[in-house]
Structure 1
């Protein structure tokens, strides 16, 4: 884990501001989605990247409104030609 030295207070609505420098370094822009999860007693924020419904890898495509990676999409195409 990288220690950044940033400390932020949560406002009365439960919001916190991610420092501009950190957003820039992580390529997090306005309207990007952030995934929030818990590991033990730690809250983890990460830039959201859709995952393939078949293998869990980063998905680049959408097939029937579902995220699918290129490799699984090619496998689906190949199997549909065989059937």
Structure 2
């Protein structure tokens, strides 16, 4: 009988130890998630402070003779039949 009681106490001590570790981890996660203040990042402020580059588009390239020689594709007419099969998962 004494061995059984010792085994139960050992199991109970292990469970208390595991519960304690789980409790500490839970408290740490809650502390980090809810109570810790966020650090302000200066990256956003730095990118806003940078001078904005001006975008210049050269529209003269559209007047190039090589581009004027290009032809558009012929329009593809829609299918007259319904595409596919009624049940595509059955074998042929």
More helix by percentage: 2
The structure having more radius of gyration, on CA atoms, is: 2
Structure scoring higher RCO (CA < 8 A, sep ≥ 6) equals: 1
More strand by percentage: 1
Q: TM-score range by the shorter chain?
A: under 0.3
TM-score, normalised to structure 2, is: 0.26
